[in-house]
Amino acid sequence: MLVLLQNILFTLLPWLVVLTVVVVVHELGHFLMARAFGVAVDRFSVGFGKTLLSRRDRHGTEWRLAALPLGGYVKFSGDADASSSVPDAEDLADLRQQIVDRQGAEAVGRYFHFKPLWQRALIVLAGPMANFVLAIAVSTVFLMCVGEVYMKPVVSQVQPGSPAAQAGFRPGDAITRVAGRPVDNFVTLRQYVQYHASRPIDFSVQRAGQTVTLTAKPILAVGPDPVFGRPIRLGQIGVLGTGPASIRRLAPLDALTHGTAQVYDTLDITVHYLGRIFQGRESGDQLGGPIRIALTTKAIAQDGAAAGHTLAQHSLGVAINLFGLIGGISISIGFMNLLPIPMLDGGHLMFYAYEAVARRPVTARVQAVSYRVGLALVVGLMLFATWNDLQLPVLKILGGHVS
């Protein structure tokens, strides 16, 4: 029983905390942008289901804490539901008349669906952007307070016959740029190479006081996954850095710059990986769903707890590790919501693009079909990711081991 409770503590609770923080920040982005444009908001809910606590502010918005801590939502005045689907021309005319009858003509301008198109687009875009801002903030604070693993970007060894050897790398080469971007950490360089396999990469190298450009094409190599116990394929060019590794804390401005670059790199890696899947060059088995997220959260929480000996040290270790995980999950949520799939923010932006060109909203019938297709795509993606999760050699859920 004690093991069961411990696994619940380290699996479900951290997962719920991470998910709730990330989704609430996403919805807060929509909310704050809507408030900036004077949009009336009926409800901001943290969680779903039965209301536990609620209060109404001076703007008339109900702030609500619900029983199911699985994120949250914002409901604008006039929305049929929390998805803020786009009414067609006939529905908009009916909604306008209802507002005029109840509140007068001057109230129409406070409703989301009657705001200028560019304002609606910015309100929708603000959710994913809030996720990216959160990720940048997390990375910045992490780099300032905890630091990053650092190793000089100087080549100590070149493996014979490797892509690096073929490109002309030599021991002592100081790598200053990768794909045109500055690099001052061998760890950052290695991460970039790992996720850009089978694509030629230009490296700027300082050698004997001169700058040399070398081009290497990383090959895919199989390595172990320390969390899930299954092989993973990562790119390699065949160079080793000059050790030993150390922990480097950055000044605020440098931390902000590096934190922003980390978020950009993660998005770049995601787009690159998805592109390889659509090209048939990747199987897609690295895509993970809620089980993998829960397992990752558990592993990170346990790793943080193991870092200290006292209760305070345990708690601090867990908090630091989960803080870092929030940044990664936030990037994923922001990116996924930008996909042009109906139901998601990207789908709304797609409809707004049509409205900008056609000068009228998408018809209700087309929207209804689109939302069904979008739902099928989202559910299909989740099922595919969950199936990948179920193929993990070891599922450490509630103390059980399934292989």
Q: List residues with catalytic annotation.
A: 27
Buried b vs exposed e over 292-314: b needs ≥16 C-beta within 10 Å?
bbbbbbbbbbbebbeeeeeeeeb
- The Cα 76–Cα 88 span in angstroms is 17
* Closest by CA position to 332, among listed 395, 271, 261, 386: 271
3-state DSSP call for residue 363? coil
Give the DSSP per-residue string, 189-210. HHHHHHTSTTS-EEEEEEETTE
CA distance 192 to 194: 6
Q: Categorise residue 398: left if φ over 0, alpha if ψ from -120 to 50, beta otherwise.
A: left
Tokens of 361: 């909203």
The dihedrals phi and psi of 82, each to the nearest 5 degrees, come to: -75, -5
Cα gap 363→141, rounded to integer Å: 46
